[in-house]
A and B are shown apart, each in its own frame.
Chain A
Amino acid sequence: EVQLVESGGGLVQPGGSLRLSCAASGFTFSDFQMNWVRQAPGKGLEWVSLINAAGSTTSYADSVKGRFTISRDNAKNSLYLQMDSLRDEDTAVYYCARERQMGYWGQGTLVTVSS
């Protein structure tokens, strides 16, 4: 069974940093692209970032480019999102999702940016 479990969310002040993790199981992690997708409270879904299977190519939404960094450790079956220079508008539930077409999602982790 495919499982994706996010962690690392919490309350952080504007300008601060946070690192999210996504632990994958039930499939060969190193075979799949992975995404981060977020959902602000009461709002719709917004794609944030994607990394290829090898970890050599990344893509970002303009809203996070230069502030967020996606990475992965295939030996640990884990996906990461380093979030720096956080803003109020980054407050959201962050989901990891498997492959570009997002066939599987985790349960999400809440990031709250507030002073």
Chain B
Amino acid sequence: DVVMAQSPLSLPVTLGQPASISCKSSQSLVYSDGNTYLNWFQQRPGQSPRRLIYKVSNRDSGVPDRFSGSGSGIDFTLKISRVEAEDVGVYYCMQGTHWPLTFGQGTKLEIK
């Protein structure tokens, strides 16, 4: 199975400051069609997961532009340019290239 290693697992951030989460996969996520199926999800407390970013860097509809995704191959990053109170929650990366589909362990973002 492809292992998705996120860091850090806990991320205390001051309001208005940037935040960055790393996700490293145990093998390349480039699919045979040339696409890289690396997605990012946000799970706010008590809510279902919500996809923020698909195929490395594409923001889903309604996702604020302070969220951005980047990376390639096996190394990916989710960045929040200025953290707001509503960003508190757990963030997961997920690879959709290889079977079985796998998630990172999650990164818990909290406000300092």
Q: Is A22 an interface residue (CB 8 A)?
A: no
Give B39's nearest chain A residue, CB to CB: A101
Q: Are A45 and B49 in contact (CB under 8 A)?
A: yes
Whole-angstrom distance between the alpha carbons of A37 and B41 in the complex?
13
Give B92's nearest chain A residue, CB to CB: A45
Residues of A close to B94: CB separation below 8 A = 45, 102
**Interface 0/1 of B22-54, CB less than 8 Å to A:** 000000000000000101010100001111001
Q: Give the interface residue-count category, chain B.
A: 20 to 34
**Interface 0/1 of B77-112, CB less than 8 Å to A:** 000000000000010101010011111111000000
Residues of A close to B37: CB separation below 8 A = 100-101
Q: Are B54 and A46 in contact (CB under 8 A)?
A: no
Whole-angstrom distance between the alpha carbons of A85 and B103 in the complex?
25
Which of B37, B49, B50, B101 has the most chain A CB atoms inside 10 A of its CB? Answer: B101
Q: Are A102 and B51 in contact (CB under 8 A)?
A: yes
If the complex has contacts A95-B49, A107-B48, A108-B48, are A101 and B96 also in contact, measured as CB distance less than 8 A? yes
Binding site for A on B (CB under 8 A): 37, 39, 41, 43, 48-51, 54-55, 60, 90, 92, 94, 96, 99-106
12 contacts between A and B (CB under 8 A): A37-B49, A45-B41, A45-B43, A45-B49, A45-B92, A47-B102, A47-B103, A62-B100, A102-B41, A102-B49, A105-B50, A108-B48
Residues of A close to B90: CB separation below 8 A = 44
Residues of B close to A37: CB separation below 8 A = 49
Q: Are A105 and B48 in contact (CB under 8 A)?
A: yes
Partner of B100, one of A61, A95, A105, A107: A61
Residues of B close to A100: CB separation below 8 A = 37, 96, 101
Q: Are A44 and B100 in contact (CB under 8 A)?
A: no
Partner of A106, one of B39, B48, B55, B100: B48
Which of A44, A59, A62, A95 has the most chain B CB atoms inside 10 A of its CB? Answer: A44
